[in-house]
Structure 1
Amino acid sequence: MKFAVISRGDETSNALMQKIKNYLLEFNLSYDSTEPDIVITVGGDGTLLYAFHQYTHRLNDTSFVGVHTGHLGFYADWKPEEVERLVIHIAKTPFKIVEYPLLEVIVRHNNSAKSERYLALNECSVKSVVGSLVMDLEIKGELFETFRGDGLCISTPSGSTAYNKALGGAILHPSLASIQISEMASINNRVYRTIGSPLVLPQHHTCLLKPLNDVDFHITIDHLSMVEKSVKSIQCRVAEEKIRFARFRPFPFWKRVKESFING
């Protein structure tokens, strides 16, 4: 089996990365950062997000597992003192594959047939660079509302505990094939009106954001940030691809939610 190890870059994570690499080489596994069967991340959830975006072209062939060197994460669920156990599992145990849905984002521009396609593990957020975000929100090709406010966040179920939760969105179990749309400070008065509540769309529903003013947009895809000009539309839906996690033991999602937000 071929493996790769990605570190957050701090001294502790780098040392642990080298330790994992040496252990796995001793078990006669092959180090291959180009076409790995499994990617081990050392750091936190942000490190796994980074690794995911390095291997979006290999999602059918590469699985991920995370070791945390800070706070326990939703993706990085192995502790540093468990590294020897994890290495033995990787080298000796056929692991279970768990697949979680991803968000597909397609940005189209005015006067251009070319579009840009992105995959998000956590979320996509959209804000205007200057002033309020003003966009028509279409669901399944029908106008649902005209949004006015600070911005919109479209998240995956596994990303529902991140920015989405801070915006008052619901926490969804990561096995649900869906996306969630949450508002950022919407403007609601006698003239303007939005639903004012997060929306959860199933796999076969597409949401389309269409700007009503000619401004530049600040779009984030997980940790990636960009400014897009002359945007015609932003299309979001559940992606055909999924992320694959290597599971060597039960992963109690609701227990992790409780530990993270109630009584860790």
Structure 2
Amino acid sequence: MKFNVRSRGDHTSNVLTQRIKTYLEEFDLIYDEQEPDIVISIGGDGTLLEAFHQYKHRLALTSFVGIHTGHLGFYADWQPDEVEKLVIHIAKTPFKIVEYPLLEVVIRHTNDQETERYLALNECTVKSMEGSLVMDVEIKGESFETFRGDGLCMSTPSGSTAYNKALGGAILHPSLASIQLSEMASINNRVYRTIGSPIVLPEHHTCLLKPKSEGDFQVTIDHLTLVQKKVQSIQCRVAEEKVRFARFRSFPFWKRVRESFITE
């Protein structure tokens, strides 16, 4: 089996990275940065997001597992003092694959610029570079509303505990193939009106965002920030691809939620 190890870059993470690499090579596993079967992320959820985007072109072939060297994460659920146990599992135990849904974002332009397609593990956000964001929102090909406000956030179920939660969105279990649209400070009065609450779309529904006027937009795909010009539409839906996590033990999603937000 081929593996790669991604470090957050701090001293503790770098030391663990070298230990894991040495241990796994002693078990005759092959270190391969290009085509790994499994990627061990050491740091936090941000490190795993970076690893996901590095290997998004081979999601059907690569699985991820995370060791957190900071606070407990939703993707990094092993602790540093469990490194030896994890290494033995990777080397000796056939692991279970758990798949989570992803968000597909397709950005089309009004000029001859090529259509861009992105995958997000957590979320995509859209904001105007100047003033309020004004977007027509279509769901499944039908006009739904015209949004005016600070911005919009489209999240995956596994990403629903991140920016989406801060916006008042619901926490969704990752087994639900869906996406969630949440508003950022929408303008609601006698003239302008939006639904005013997050909405959850199933995998066979598409959400299309169309700018009401020309302008530049700030679009984020997880930790990546893009400036988009001449935008015709931003299309969001559940992606056909899924992210694969290597599970060697049970760690229920709601336990993660409780330990992250409730347990002291």
1:75-90 alignment runs, 5 A limit: 75-90=75-90
Q: Deviations over 1:196-240 (max 9, x none)?
A: 000000000000000001110000000000110010000000000
Partner residue in 2 for 1:223: 223
Partner residue in 2 for 1:183: 183
Report how far residue 172 of structure 1 moved: 0.2
Q: Deviations over 1:90-127 (max 9, x none)?
A: 00000000000000000000022620000000000000
Partner residue in 2 for 1:112: 112
Structure 2 letter corresponding to 1:165: K
Q: Deviations over 1:227-263 (max 9, x none)?
A: 1001000000000000000000002110110111111
SS of the residue 2:255 aligns to: helix
Which runs of structure 1 show a deviation greater than 3 angstroms over 4 or more consecutive aligned residues? none
Partner residue in 1 for 2:97: 97
Identity of aligned residues (%): 80
Alpha-carbon spacing, 1:113–1:130, altered in 2? closer, same or farther (3 Å): closer
> In 1, Cα distance between the equivalents of 2:54 and 2:133?
31
Instruction: Tell me, yes or no, if structure 1 residue 144 matches structure 2 residue 150.
Output: no
> In 1, Cα distance between the equivalents of 2:72 and 2:250?
16
> In 1, Cα distance between the equivalents of 2:251 and 2:157?
15
> In 1, Cα distance between the equivalents of 2:225 and 2:48?
17
Instruction: Tell me, yes or no, if structure 1 residue 68 matches structure 2 residue 68.
Output: yes
SS of the residue 1:258 aligns to: helix
Q: Deviations over 1:43-80 (max 9, x none)?
A: 00000000000000110000000000000100000000
Partner residue in 1 for 2:173: 173
Structure 2 letter corresponding to 1:4: N
Partner residue in 2 for 1:57: 57
SS of the residue 1:160 aligns to: helix
Structure 2 letter corresponding to 1:53: H
SS of the residue 2:161 aligns to: coil
Report how far residue 129 of structure 1 moved: 0.3
Partner residue in 2 for 1:122: 122
Structure 1 stretches lacking a partner, 5+ long: none
Structure 1 letter corresponding to 2:165: K
> In 1, Cα distance between the equivalents of 2:255 and 2:68?
17
SS of the residue 1:257 aligns to: helix
SS of the residue 2:160 aligns to: coil
> In 2, Cα distance between the equivalents of 1:175 and 1:43?
25
Partner residue in 1 for 2:41: 41
Structure 2 letter corresponding to 1:10: D
> In 1, Cα distance between the equivalents of 2:29 and 2:113?
45
> In 2, Cα distance between the equivalents of 1:119 and 1:167?
21
Partner residue in 2 for 1:263: 263
SS of the residue 2:173 aligns to: coil
SS of the residue 1:159 aligns to: helix
> In 2, Cα distance between the equivalents of 1:227 and 1:253?
34
> In 1, Cα distance between the equivalents of 2:73 and 2:113?
40
Structure 2 letter corresponding to 1:239: A
Structure 2 letter corresponding to 1:73: G
Structure 2 stretches lacking a partner, 5+ long: none
Structure 1 letter corresponding to 2:31: Y
SS of the residue 2:172 aligns to: coil
> In 1, Cα distance between the equivalents of 2:114 and 2:217?
18
Structure 2 letter corresponding to 1:228: Q
Q: Deviations over 1:125-179 (max 9, x none)?
A: 0000000000000000000000000000000000000000000000000111000
Instruction: Tell me, yes or no, if structure 1 residue 202 matches structure 2 residue 198.
Output: no
> In 1, Cα distance between the equivalents of 2:85 and 2:228?
46
Tell me the number of residue pairs that the alignment of Structure 1 and Structure 2 aligns: 264
